[in-house]
Amino acid sequence: MSRPLGRADLPIGVFDSGIGGLTVLRAIGRRMPRERLIYFGDTAHVPYGSKSRRTVTRYSVEVARFLEAQKIKALVVACNTSSALALGEVARRVPVPVLGVIQPGADAAAAATRNGRVGIIGTEATIASGAYPAALRARLPRARVWSVACPLFVPLVEEGWWAHPASASAARTYLKAFQASEVDTLILGCTHYPLLKGLVQRVMGPRVRLIDSAEQTALEVERLLLSLGLGRRRGPGHSRFFVSDAPERFLKLARRLLGVRVPRVELHAFD
């Protein structure tokens, strides 16, 4: 984490490769209704989940610098892939506290599991990075971890196919990998997966606890701001939205997928 700058009235920057990080923005807004938030969806470069560490890091640093130039007091990397691959570099390059979603999600899983067997699903890049197992073992050294990439989930969610037979079939196929594992906890390690919660729960069975890191991340953001004396105490909250491409599509998806009313989206292209 970098050196804190700024005052309590400055906004919190929230960044994702696209639309999914709105789940984190929503959780932060609910927990801290007085905070001002600036969201950036890097829609010109989404998906991050199939790209290399080098590329994801380059995109992430670019977005972080843009948000920092808006004068923020903290930065939340709401994208799991970016948190897994680029968090360290982002934190080195911006002079505000930086928080990702991996450690909060892993902490919640460590607290939830009873048998120490934890499953993780995420994008190809997140799973290949090993970031979740590392974060989990930092809390629970004896944890046994099963990780599975579910690359089709993101496009299925963006199509609005939460309960569609194609999504059910994809879920059954991917989640078969956990069959003999006896995991009692499963981390939904991608911004889009909470929207498939019902489906994933049905396939995994009622005994498996699903971890959605948005809530836990919001809690960590609150703790961090309070510990630094940076919580905003007065005035109403406010959110401002930026994307790097196709603001209309972002508006439509935000409404359709998350029921988030986005009044205005500003375009900031990097090239």
CB of 187 to ligand DGL, least distance (A): 12
- Name the token pair of 161: 């196919």
* Cα–Cα dist 96/76, whole Å: 10
CB of 237 to ligand DGL, least distance (A): 23
φ and ψ at 242, to 5 degrees? -125, 150
Contact set for ligand DGL, span 147-186 (CB under 6 A): 154
Contact set for ligand DGL, span 4-33 (CB under 6 A): 16-18, 20
* Cα–Cα dist 72/90, whole Å: 14
* Cα–Cα dist 92/259, whole Å: 35
Binding of ligand DGL at residue 211 (CB under 6 A)? Answer: no
Centre a 10 Å sphere on the Cβ of residue 159 and count the other Cβ atoms it contains: 13
Among 57, 191, 213, 216, binds ligand DGL (CB under 6 A): 191
Residues in a beta bridge with 122: 149, 189
Q: Considering only the stretches 40-48, 67-75, 169-177, 230-238, report the one whose residues sit in contact with ligand DGL under the rule CB under 6 A.
A: 40-48
CB of 155 to ligand DGL, least distance (A): 10
Residues in a beta bridge with 261: none
3-state secondary structure 177-210: HHCCCCCCEEEEECCCHHHHHHHHHHHHCCCCEE
Centre a 10 Å sphere on the Cβ of residue 148 and count the other Cβ atoms it contains: 17
Whichever of 2 and 50 has its CB closer to ligand DGL, that residue is 50
Which of 190, 210, 211, 230 is an active site residue? 190
Annotation marks residue 79 as catalytic: yes
Annotation marks residue 150 as catalytic: no
Whichever of 17 and 73 has its CB closer to ligand DGL, that residue is 17
- Name the token pair of 255: 């409404």
Binding of ligand DGL at residue 57 (CB under 6 A)? Answer: no
Whichever of 143 and 195 has its CB closer to ligand DGL, that residue is 195
The dihedral built from the CA positions of residue 255, 206, 100 and 30, taken in this order, carries a sign that is positive
- Name the token pair of 51: 């790209």
Terminal Cα-to-Cα distance of the chain (whole angstroms): 29
Binding of ligand DGL at residue 46 (CB under 6 A)? Answer: yes
CB of 235 to ligand DGL, least distance (A): 30
What is the size of the binding site for ligand DGL (CB under 6 A)? 17
CB of 191 to ligand DGL, least distance (A): 4
Among 15, 39, 48, 161, binds ligand DGL (CB under 6 A): 48
Which of 79, 127, 149, 210 is an active site residue? 79
Whichever of 54 and 238 has its CB closer to ligand DGL, that residue is 54
**Chain position whose Cβ is nearest to ligand DGL:** 49
Whether the link from the prior residue into 247 is cis, omega within 30° of 0, is no
Asked if residues 120 and 127 have their Cβ atoms less than 8 Å apart, the reply is yes
For ligand DGL, the binding residues (CB under 6 A) are: 16-18, 20, 46-49, 79-81, 123, 126, 154, 190-192
Query: What is the set of active-site residues?
Result: 79, 190
